Every structure is written in C-alpha cells, then in structure tokens.
Structure 1
Amino acid sequence: MNGHEDLTYVYAAAPDTREVRASLQDLRGVSGASVSLLSLPTPGPDPVAFVVSRVAPDEFDERTLKARFEDLEWLEGVARAHHEVVQTVARHDTVLPLRLATVYQNDDRARHALTAQRRVFAERIALLRGRSEFGVKLYVGPTGSAGPSEPRDGTAADASLSPGKAYLRRRRAQHSAQEVRHRHAQEAAGRVEALASRFSTRRVRHPAQRGALAGPEENVLNDAYLVPHARAEEFRTALAAAVEGLDGVRVEVTGPWAPYSFATPPEPETVGEGRTP
C-alpha cells in the first residue's frame, strides 16, 4: 500500500438514486471529508452503491486503528460522524449501514467488494424498504425511589423499634419492593412483546445495558424492532403506554433510526481489502 494514498471509508450501501445523491451534497463525514456515492460501471437492474469518503492512511491503516480504537475521544468522534452520514441518507431512502471503520485500500478494492455483495445488498435493502428501526428499553428503578404504592424507608413505625430491628425491617421492605418491581418488569416485557408484534415485522434482542450506560436504573430489556414508516407513531404511542399501572418500571422508545440491528454487513476480505475492526 502506498502510505500517501488516501483510503476509501465506506459508511453504508444504498440504492443508487437521485434522492440519495442529492442527500450527499455538502455532507461531511469522518475527519470532515466530503461524502460521495461510489457506484459500479454496470449498475444492473437494482443499482446499489457505496456511500464513501476519503480518509488518511496515517489514521485508518490497520496498525493505526488498533491503537485508535483505544482512544475513546477519537472513537466517539468517528462514530458520531459515521452515524450522521448514515442517518442523513436514511432520511431520503433505504440504507444498509456498515460497521464502523470499514476501510478499503482504494476505490477499486471497494468496487470489487460491492460487486461481490451486490445481490445480497439489494435483497437486504428490499427487505428494509419502507421501515425504520426503533429501540425499546425497559428499566427498573432503584428501591430508594419507591413508587406511590410501595413501602418507603424510615416510616413512623420504625421509631418504636430498636435500631437493629428497624434496619432489618427496612431491608425487608426494600427487598419486597424490588421483588414487586421485577414482577412488574416481567409483566411489562410481556405487554411490550404483545403490543410490538402488532406493528413490527422483525425483532432483535440486544444484551441489557450495564453500569454507566444504564444509569441508576436497571436495564432489563433492550430490544430493536423493524417498524413500517406508516405505523411508527402508532407503535411509539402504544409502547409508551405499556407500563401504565406498573410502579417502578419505565419504558423508553427511541427512533426512528437507520436499521443498524437488521443490516447484515459483508464479511471482511483479506487484510487491507475492507476491515471491520
């Protein structure tokens, strides 16, 4: 590889249409580079292209990327730029997002990969057409934030008890409250699944978030649904009401997003021919 030749960064596969090309005008991607459409010389009956920009090899060659992916500030900047490009295209047409930092040595290598995967991309785009991804998360609140029907710490009855007995009573109350909340969460999950199946065509289950990603609450459900555009608002409204009457449980519906969870990226080729670290 020529160390001075820019690499081809691929954000997504998308239909080669006038709307997609118009969406890329003045759009900037990773490292502030302009974004364009990389198409095939003979597009075929279902023309598919790569959404690309040029990036410097001293930032995105294989050896550098291994170190860069440990730099959270740099990684966040690349992820934001990547996501913005994908979402911009998604507002105009169906898009098939590729993994972060999918990089090819040059345009010819990228076209070779596009040619090899063209049929797969076209079939997947047809499956996703007219649909968006929505995220649905369920959270259980900490026991310290009791709902209106749950016992609270430090009740007036504790004043007549010894410190040890009062402590044990509070612990039992907290444990009981948490058990109630988890039962509510199970009921909410059943409601969500039943409601969502009326609106969505597919579901992907992601691992529950932990630690700082979940905040003070406990994330007990982290699903993605593929929802037709025409039913998006109805889906959101129905899911938002899924936890009514269930103390200590909160539902969060996000979207619409580009269908990251439902895209099947191409398998990476050899080193330097398209990498998805």
Structure 2
Amino acid sequence: MTEDMAVWLYAVTPEPAPAGLTELTGVLGAPVRVVRASGLAAVVSSVSRAEVGEEPLRRNLEDLDWLAATATGHDAVVGAVTSSATAVPVRIATVYHGDDRVRDVLTEHRTAFAATVDLLAGRTEWGVKAYAASNHSDESADVPGDAPAGTSGGAPGDVPGDAPGSGAPGGGQRSGTAYLLRRRAQLRARETADHLAARDADRVHTELGSLAVAVRRHPPQHSRLTGTRANMVLNAAYLVDDARAEHFATAVTELDARGPLLHLYLTGPWPPYSFSRIAEVTT
C-alpha cells in the first residue's frame, strides 16, 4: 500500500473470515480486503488520504451528501459481514495509517475483541423508540376547547368569551386573555404528559431490558431528526438472543397496546454497534 493511502476499518471477526468479502465494494468505491493477526480478521479497504486524512475527513464529515454515500457503503459492508459471521462492527470513519497499525490493534486488544465476540454470538441488536402519545410541538396552537363552551366553534367574527350579540366593549382584549389562559393550560398539560410519559418509558425500558442480555439507552433524538413533532422519551438498544427475538417483538407490541401514554416503535435487526465495545480499541 502506498503512502497516499489509508486503511478504513469496517469490522473485526474471528478467523476464518467469511467467504466472499473480497467481492464486496466498500466506501468511496474501494474494494474490500482482509488484514489478519492473532487469530482475528479485520475487514478493511484502502482509501485515499486525500479523502480521509485528518483535515479532509473533518471537512467531508460536514458534507451531508458525502456522509450519506459513505455511511451507506460502510453499512453495506458491515451488514454483509455480520449476516454471515459473528463480528464486531466498527463505526464509520475509523481510519488507520496502514496495515501494520491494524495488525497492532488486533494483537494488542485480542482479549477485548474475543470477549466482545462471545457477547455478540447468537445475538442481534434491536432498537425501540417511544414517543409521548399526545405530545406535539409547542408551536401548535390548536387545542381541544378553543371553541367557546356551548358552541360549535362560533360563526366568523364571534369573540370567544363574549355572549352572542352582546357587543360588549373590550371583546378583543378578553379574547386575547382567554387565548393566553388556554395556552398556559395547554403547556401545563404537556409538561404533565411529558412527566408521565417519561415515567412510563422507564417502566417499558426495564421490562424490555429483562428480555435482553445487554441494553444501551441513547439520548432521545430531536424532532428535527425524527421528522415528527411528538416528543421522543425513549431511544434504546437491546441485545437479544436470536432464539428470543420473536418473543421480544411480541413484548414490544403488547407494551405498546397496554397504555395510552406512549407509542412504541421496534426497529432492526441492526449490526450490534451499540454493544461492540470498540471505542476503547480504536483510538
């Protein structure tokens, strides 16, 4: 490998490496290959330092198009490896100077890799996201009760809070005050709903965690990422024995149907990024 190339790491698996890896195409269109040491196989590609050197990589990671294409290529290789062998997946943009450094990592941390392989064998990562069922963005102004009691919303021009035909002066001011009071009540109701939903999410997480061999609770995602105005109150990963995967999925469905406070969504199966314990060995 020439000096202008670096090594992009996808995953680590025990020897023998799965067949067919060298037929895959990885990030930036680079062929996939294997670096071996200490009974372990690192699945890698050689990529240009012009793309993944320290400064270029920092710049490229801020380019959403580059990031999306690269993440797709990375995940495709990781998915191919983990579907055919127990493997430790590595997060995107784990780059080394050369094959010798990759071999050093495999040798220095073979005990940690072996322990992780033992943890992941015969198990799959599943994700569960929970949203507060009645929670919406504070930008929403429409709430039940906006229409004056005893009406069906009123005719155009009716002033909320004024008796029909009263012509009472100051109606606009009273209308504004009534709106602010309703708005305040709405926000208080949302705060209460958030609290109750978060408490229910803790209970759901505990119950689902009892069905998994390991759990990771990630920070909830902002609505800008989820594409919904509902408030996410649980974003968790569960490492589940493959033999219990159907039971786990059924439990999510039952918990979703049990109470009105949350909507639950099961995602996966995923490569077990949340349980790879790779951060300690990829510095």
Scaled to the shorter chain, the TM-score interval is 0.7 to 0.9
Q: Give the direction of change, closer, same or farther, for the CA distance of 1:229–1:142 in structure 2 (3 Å limit).
A: same
8 Å Cα contact 1:243/1:249 also seen in 2? yes
Instruction: Give the number of aligned pairs.
Output: 258
Residues 1:186 and 2:185 are matched in the alignment? no
Deviation at 1:254, TM superposition (A): 0.9
Question: How far apart are the structure 2 equivalents of 1:266 and 1:179?
Answer: 37
Picking from 251, 257, 264, the partner of 2:264 is 251
Alpha-carbon contact 2:16-2:41 (below 8 Å) kept: no
- Specify the SS of the correspondent of 1:175: helix
1:17 counterpart residue number: 16
The equivalent residue for 2:83 is 91
Cα pair distance change 1:54/1:16, threshold 3 Å = same
Summarize the alignment of residues 1-277 of structure 1 with structure 2, pairs less than 5 Å apart: 3-4=3-4, 6-17=5-16, 20-22=18-20, 24-40=21-37, 43=38, 47-140=39-132, 141-142=135-136, 152-157=144-149, 161=161, 162-164=174-176, 166-175=178-187, 177-215=189-227, 216-244=229-257, 246-247=259-260, 249-265=262-278, 267=280
For the Cα contact (< 8 Å) 2:25–2:32, is it kept in 1?
yes
> How far apart are 1:143 and its partner, in Å?
6.7
Alpha-carbon contact 1:208-1:219 (below 8 Å) kept: yes
Structure 2 Cα separation of the partners of residues 69 and 173 of structure 1: 43
1:152 is paired with a residue whose SS is coil
Deviations for 1:5-41, whole angstroms, at most 9, x for unmatched residues?
x3221111112236x223x25221101122122212x
Q: Displacement, 1:229?
A: 0.8
Q: 2:34·2:43 contact (CA, 8 Å) conserved in 1?
A: yes
How many angstroms does 1:62 deviate by? Answer: 2.1
Distance across 2 between alignment mates of 1:241 and 1:196: 11
Moved more, 246-255 or 117-126: 246-255
Q: What does the per-residue CA deviation read over 1:103-128, in whole Å, with 9 as the maximum and x for residues that have no partner?
A: 22222221122111112111111111
Distance 1:120 1:183 in 2: 40
Q: Displacement of 1:78 after TM fit?
A: 1.5
Q: Structure 1 stretch 163-172 or stretch 109-118: which is displaced more?
A: 163-172
Mind listing any 5+ residue stretches in structure 1 that lack a counterpart? 269-273
Question: Compared with structure 1, are the counterparts of its residues 188 and 240 closer, same or farther at alpha carbon in structure 2 (3 Å cutoff)?
Answer: farther
What is the aligned-residue RMSD (CA, Å)? 2.8
> What whole-Å deviation, never above 9, does each CA across 1:162-208 have from its counterpart, x for those lacking one?
52354145325523542453244134314312321331011112111
Give the Cα–Cα distance (whole angstroms) in 2 for the partners of residues 261 and 169 of structure 1: 45
C-alpha deviations, 1:71-111, integer Å up to 9, x for none? 22212222221112112211112221123222222222211
- Which amino acid in 2 is paired with 1:237? T
Distance 1:32 1:26 in 2: 12
Q: Identify the range of structure 1 (250-259 vs 182-191) with the bigger mean alpha-carbon deviation.
A: 182-191
Q: Under a length normalisation based on structure 1, what TM-score does the superposition of the two structures give?
A: 0.81
CA–CA distance in structure 2, aligned partners of residues 93 and 188 of structure 1: 37
On the 8 A contact 1:7/1:55 being kept in 2, the answer is yes
Residues 137 and 230 in structure 2, CA contact (< 8 A), matched pair in contact too: no
Rg bigger for which structure?
2
Normalized against structure 2, the TM-score is what? 0.80
Judging changes above 3 Å, is the alpha-carbon distance between structure 1 residues 90 and 110 closer, same or farther for their aligned structure 2 residues?
Answer: same
* Contact 1:188 1:243 (C-alpha < 8 Å) held by counterparts: no
| 1:261 positional shift | 1.0
> Percent of aligned positions with the same letter in both sequences?
39
